Structure 1
Amino acid sequence: MSADPVVDPSTSTAGASKSNVIKSTTSRSTVSTLLSSATQLQWKINEKCLCYHGPLIYEAKILKIRVFTPEDTENGEIGPNFLVHYKGWKQTWDEWVTEQRILKLDEAGIAKQRTLAQSAVAAQSASGNVAAGKMKDSSGKTTTTNPAGPSASAGGSTRSGVRKEGARGTKRGREDDDGHNARRAEMKLNVPELLKVLLVDDWEAVTKNHQLVTLPRSPTVHQILSQFEEHVKSTMTSLPDPQLLTHTICAGLQIYFDRSCGMSLLYRFERHQYAEVRKKYITGPQVKIEESSDVEMSSIYGGEHLLRMLVSLPQMVANSQMDGESISLVREYVNELLRYLESNKESIFQREYDTPSESYGNTVRS
């Protein structure tokens, strides 16, 4: 499955009754919430739905509903949150998600789920199956693993989504996507073997050894991209218009990172760390508003998570409205960035991961 939320996506139609009162207590275990009509929430406990996990959509079931405050949040997101369980996956994949990630279990939602599953399969094929090998996920299923984060184990759902479509949907998908598939092929990345090894080592450190990347990292994603920009501008390169395009493309990659970090670049064991980071730098009661407004995840996370994002870019681009020429430019610059990461691996990537406290592990498993 992809990132690591604390909810379970089982499918079902949405349409819950609305209440006019919101009441909550300070005790996390006893917080009960009645959602007001102002929140425009259409969900209720035990309702089946569809839920985004990384770039894909899974069937899920809503287990709990809570309104998180800056002092009391499981995932760093303030406001109404839903604990979901993903159908067919172990409870360890359950996670808290915001309403923006939930869809109704209806024909429109299922159609979107199928489209994204097809896009993921096409993008993975086009990118040369960057994260090599077969691995077993936490549910015991064997999947083609992309150690790039939340969308990493999406193979399980993608597989089932395509199978359900079967003969009746495959042909139509090819006809509809002929032009798009040709465009996606342009985004094929040449990931150096050394970086593939680092991806697998990163996956093992977090998911198997239960270790964490040190945060904040040094250098950060923002610093790495700035250094890469200076490198491109100051050296002989075959990249098109480096003086004109490098800053724009690096700024775009940084935006991609900031928007995807919490949703699709984290493994489950890292999500509590992410929530703690958001409390410390963005949402916590001690954070000044003028300070938090300038904080992005690219100024906290580093090369490990940047690499996860880069190998996930083909999937992201496949779901974007980017034209073929732009995709070709981004592909050239990202391939150059991957070579830069390889050349500077000693200063960019962390050698030893942190071992968190026992209380952290208990919190994650609870």
Structure 2
Amino acid sequence: MSTPTFSVNEAVLCYHGPLIYEAKVLKVEDWNENSTKLGSTGPHYFVHYKGWKQTWDEWVPPARMLKMTEGNIALQRSLREQQQASTRDSSSAGPSKSGGGSSSKGGAAGGASAARRKEGTRGTKRARDDDDGARKPELRLMVPEVLKVLLVDDWEAVTKNTQLVTLPREPTVVEILQEYKAWVTQQQTTSNLRDPQVLLPTIVNGLQLYFDRALGSTLLYRFERVQYAEVRKKYITGPTVSVGKEKEMSEIYGAEHLLRMLVSLPQMVASSTMDPESVGLLRDYVNKLFEFLVEERGRLFQREYEAASLAYQNISRS
């Protein structure tokens, strides 16, 4: 799929962290190795985010941009709903020991930012401006356009067409991550990743662990929760499951839910204590994982989701 192009004054959608925002293209430049401002080459766009201060205007590559289409607007809404659900889950766990909280663009702000809003500060973005000095490292991922399309198709299949990913998937998340590790190892001579022999196993294990922990709380659409309960009963909690034979979710789910997790990582990093160096390493390895998913997408992603039965639909809506 060719990379879309954008023009000056065009209204677009733009990734910033885990969410998508409305923006307007102010300038267009084609960078080479001598003129680049960000270390990347090719077309870049200087955008202004709608409703934001000009201090947030920035240069972005086309990989972070989307055309203003109905499907992309639906993806924007879906990502916002996922973050709001995650924020509610975090809030229900109670305040941290420090009594504060973390914030990200478009998300719920912590105690200090909330207090500023009560004193008359309008909106999360202005409160965030006040917090610039204490801002944590931001994980900026380069999600390929073809994977963004898959995310939209995934959202439509589940939420609009009442379809489900067939489970267990083949290959599973565990198998995909192991294939990715082997793929990177074969590319070591041309890869720009830092210390893959040392870091790659740790990062792969960390992604698998986070997937297992995040799936039930942040990666599922409401329509999938009945299926998730059935899977847990069949492979973890049911009377036919022998002790020690339980399966992790990463051994059942596949590329569709792995991709959902990967695009949610910036939100996770924003609420973590990761240092800038670790965030940079994670960014490089996840962006390389995106390359692998694009290269193998025909084999990894399910082409046609299965139709949910009428009985399932009735249960999921009850």
TM-score range normalised by the length of the shorter chain: 0.5 to 0.7
How far apart are the structure 2 equivalents of 1:200 and 1:144? 6
Counterparts of 1:299 and 1:211 in 2: how far apart (Å)? 21
Indicate the residue corresponding to 2:260 in structure 1.
Answer: 308
Taking structure 1 as the reference length, the TM-score comes to 0.57
Name the CA distance, whole Å, in 2 between partners of 1:215 and 1:196. Answer: 22
Structure 2 counterpart of 1:180, from 120, 129, 135:
135
Query: Aligned runs of 1:172-321 on 2, under 5 Å?
Result: 173-181=128-136, 183-184=137-138, 187-235=139-187, 236-292=190-246, 295-321=247-273
Give 1:285 shift: 1.4
* 8 Å contact from structure 1 (residues 229, 247) kept in 2: yes
Distance 1:261 1:146 in 2: 19
Q: Deviations over 1:325-351 (max 9, x none)?
A: 000000000000001100100110000
Contact kept? 2:164, 2:305, Cα under 8 Å:
yes
Distance in 2, matches of 1:220 and 1:132, equals 32
Task: Tell me how far 1:176 sits from its aligned partner.
Answer: 3.3
Is 1:354 aligned to residue 306 of structure 2?
A: yes
Q: Is the 8 A contact 2:75 2:152 kept in 1?
A: no
Q: Where does structure 1 differ by over 2 angstroms across 4 or more consecutive aligned residues?
A: 125-136, 146-150, 152-181
Kept after mapping to 1: 8 A contact 2:83/2:107: no
Deviation at 1:144, TM superposition (A): 6.8
Q: Deviation per CA, 1:51-94: give whole Å up to 9, x if none.
A: xxxx9xxxxxxxxxxxxxxxxxxxxxxxxxxxxxxxxxxxxxxx
Corresponding residue SS for 2:142: coil
- Whether the 8 Å contact between 1:133 and 1:144 is mirrored in structure 2 is no
The answer as to whether partners of 2:157 and 2:164 remain within 8 angstroms in 1 is: yes
Preserved contact between residue 216 and residue 301 of structure 1 (Cα < 8 Å): yes
> CA separation in 2, counterparts of 1:304 and 1:149?
18
Rounded Cα–Cα distance in structure 1 between residues aligned with 2:182 and 2:121: 51
Change (3 A) 1:134 1:312: farther
SS of 1:196's equivalent?
Answer: helix
The alignment's C-alpha RMSD in Å is: 3.4
SS across alignment from 1:228: helix
1:151: which partner in 2?
A: 82
- Structure 1 residue 175 displacement after superposition: 3.5
User: Shift of residue 148 of structure 1?
Assistant: 5.5
Which deviations, in whole Å up to 9, do the C-alpha atoms of 1:95-121 show, x marking residues without a partner?
A: xxxxxxxxxxxxxxxxxxxxxxxxxxx
Alignment of 1:99-114 (within 5 A): none
| Displacement of 1:178 | 2.7
Match of 2:290 in 1: 338
Distance apart, 1:177 and its partner CA: 4.2
Unaligned runs of 5+ in 1: 1-54, 56-121, 137-141
User: Residue 295 of structure 2 aligns to which amino acid in structure 1?
Assistant: S
Q: Which amino acid aligns with 1:275?
A: A
Task: Give the Cα separation in 2 of the matches to 1:126 and 1:315.
Answer: 19
- In 1, are the aligned partners of 2:82 and 2:218 still within 8 Å (CA)? yes
Q: How far off is 1:174 after superposition?
A: 3.1
Aligned residues: 234
Q: Measured at CA, do residues 255 and 229 of structure 1 come closer, stay the same or move farther in structure 2, by a change above 3 Å?
A: same
Give the AA of the match of 1:244. V
Which amino acid is 2:250 matched to? S
Look up the SS of the partner of 1:269 in the other structure: helix
Contact 1:258 1:297 in 2 (8 A): yes
Residues 133-161 of structure 1, C-alpha deviations (whole Å, 9 max, x = no match) = 5869xxxxx88726569616769998695
Counting aligned pairs with the same residue, the percent is 50
| TM-score normalised by structure 2 residue count | 0.65
1:170-205 CA distance string (max 9 Å, x none)? 655434343425x11xx1111111001000000000
Are the counterparts in 1 of residues 173 and 254 from structure 2 also a CA contact under 8 Å?
A: yes
**1:168 alignment counterpart:** 121
Contact 1:228 1:340 survives alignment (8 Å): yes
Q: How far is 1:168 from its partner? A: 3.0
Judging changes above 3 Å, is the alpha-carbon distance between structure 1 residues 304 and 160 closer, same or farther for their aligned structure 2 residues? closer
Cα distance between partner residues in 2 of 1:264 and 1:129: 22
The letter of the residue matching 1:287 is V
Q: CA deviation at 1:234?
A: 1.3
- Inter-CA distance 190–159: structure 2 relative to 1 (3 Å threshold): closer
- Give the Cα separation in 2 of the matches to 1:231 and 1:254: 17
